[in-house]
Amino acid sequence: MSSLALQALYDKVNSCQNIQTGRFFINDDNFFCPENIHISNIDIAFVTSSYEMDILNLLKIKHKLQEYKIPSVLGGINAHLNPSFFAKNFDIIFLGRLDKRFDLIMQHFLKYGPQRLTELKLPGIFHYSLGRCSNKESPAKDYSYLPSTVITSSATVFPNTFLTEIAAGCRHKCRFCLLSSLNKPYKYYPSSPLLAKIKKLPLSVKKVGLVAASVNDYPHIENLIKAINRFGKKITTASLRMENITPDLLTLLKANEQKTITLAPETAAVHLQKKIGKIYREKKLLQTAELIASYGFARLKLYYLIGLPAESDNDIILMTEQIKKIKNALNKGAARSGINPLLELSINPFIPKPFTKLGAENYENVKTLKQKIKLVKKKTAGAGNIKLHFLSPRAGKLQYFISNKLNTIADILEHAAVHKYKLMDIEKKIRNF
């Protein structure tokens, strides 16, 4: 239940009168419902999926729903990336954020039952009708609903944590990012409804997770954190923008026992920064790294991309040189705090996404990506207290095909779902695509 999308979906459905709501989770091939509702008693299923590599689970869910003849509605990023494909497998495809259109779906369902859902004609809601998709137009943006946790648990990725979105979309125009392309315009939620929910939280909820593309883009974020702290709750954040990191913010994050600061430089080469629309000054990055270490944080996590359009080996070497400079900056800061933070690097292949400015670019050759990974490892060896993570180039290729060319591997995926193959097996099958 650490998925905010699932929490919001459950909240929306459960708020309707005369409806019993059950949550179903899939583990391997087993379906589990904490509310002990048997799948045969479901009148309608709402499914959300935000990660391309969930494709096999989605197809398993589809088979189970079809086995019991259960009408279904699919939403989330996967639905948005490939609506035509999923419209063949689910009755209704819901594009965009949970908004008043979802309320209309529920009203229609309660009045007429699930069999007449395909009569709905709303922007961003479509289905297969006479063999073709209808209603493809993008929905108008409605931010009246504030997604946040409705069920807290100690048995989740974020135990006893209340998650709440504080802003939708992104202020920045990174040309590779799906979030800034789909969720426009950027919108932050006023602090009053956020704090009203937090004030009512039980004592068992110890933390509040602030969810946004960049948490410190939120206006007066320090004041929001202080207000949450006054309710006896500590906060935790995800990725931050380096240009908005201040001593005051770091002081608050340290007081809230946050151990990791996460930034995403993406690339060190200026020409690639311009290509992807994410320009920064290296001097600022190094100053920020030194500042973070001086406050005694245990870890600095950075995200980089490899395989960007027009990227050369020299650009990779430039990245490794930047990494070593960052490590030196951390050492300088650690001299003041006495804590030498781990520099953790997540270096992943660039995967072009539909609807983005770089969506028409190709995925880098797998062999070339492996050579670049080898070069990164060689050039950063011996730098000290650095941890490297790489997404497998083959896994990246599969993700690229799911995002951009799903119909070309649809038969392979269907076969894999039926015969219980793993994603690794599919990666091997598309090796020569």
pLDDT in tens, the chain (433 residues): 678 889 999 999 998 888 899 999 887 778 889 899 999 999 999 999 988 999 999 999 999 999 999 999 999 999 888 888 898 889 889 988 888 888 888 998 989 888 788 788 888 887 765 445 555 555 556 777 889 999 888 878 888 899 999 999 899 989 999 888 887 788 999 999 999 999 999 998 999 999 999 999 999 999 999 999 999 999 999 899 999 999 999 999 999 999 999 999 999 999 999 999 999 999 999 999 999 999 999 999 999 999 999 999 999 999 999 999 999 999 999 999 999 999 999 999 999 999 999 999 999 999 999 999 999 999 999 888 999 999 999 999 999 999 999 999 999 999 988 888 888 889 888 888 8
**Residue 379 and residue 273 share a domain:** yes
Burial (CB count within 10 angstroms: exposed 0-12, middle 13-18, buried 19+), residue 292: buried
Nearest to 205, CA basis, from 235, 165, 160, 164: 160
**Residue 371 and residue 281 share a domain:** yes
Angle at CA of residue 344, ends 340 and 349, nearest 5°: 160
**Residue 8 and residue 85 share a domain:** yes
243, 258, 273 - which closes a domain: 258
In the prediction, which pLDDT does 130 show?
A: 41
**Residue 114 and residue 201 share a domain:** no
Distance (Å, whole) CA 265 – CA 83: 32
Distance (Å, whole) CA 415 – CA 78: 19
Q: Is residue 425 part of a domain?
A: no
Instruction: Please give the full DSSP string across 284-307, using - where no structure is assigned.
Output: HHHHHHHHHHHTT-SEEEEEEEES
In the prediction, which pLDDT does 357 show?
A: 95
In the prediction, which pLDDT does 114 show?
A: 82
**Residue 83 and residue 164 share a domain:** no
In the prediction, which pLDDT does 184 show?
A: 78
**Residue 176 and residue 242 share a domain:** yes
Domain holding 366, by residue range, is 259-391
3-state SS class at 185: coil
Nearest to 261, CA basis, from 300, 311, 210, 216: 300
In the prediction, which pLDDT does 30 show?
A: 80
Q: Using an 8 Å Cβ cutoff, are 70 and 44 in contact?
A: yes
**Residue 195 and residue 84 share a domain:** no
Distance (Å, whole) CA 364 – CA 348: 12
Burial (CB count within 10 angstroms: exposed 0-12, middle 13-18, buried 19+), residue 124: buried
Query: Which CATH number do you get for residue 187?
Result: 3.30.750.210
Distance (Å, whole) CA 363 – CA 393: 10
**Residue 304 and residue 181 share a domain:** no
**Residue 387 and residue 306 share a domain:** yes
98, 133, 168 - which closes a domain: 133
Distance (Å, whole) CA 116 – CA 383: 63
Q: Is residue 105 part of a domain?
A: yes
**Residue 342 and residue 280 share a domain:** yes
Look up tokens 């499914």; give the residue: 47
Q: What's the total number of domains in the chain? A: 3
**Residue 282 and residue 245 share a domain:** no
Bridge-based pairing of strands 125-126 and 92-94 is antiparallel
What is the residue type of 55? Answer: I
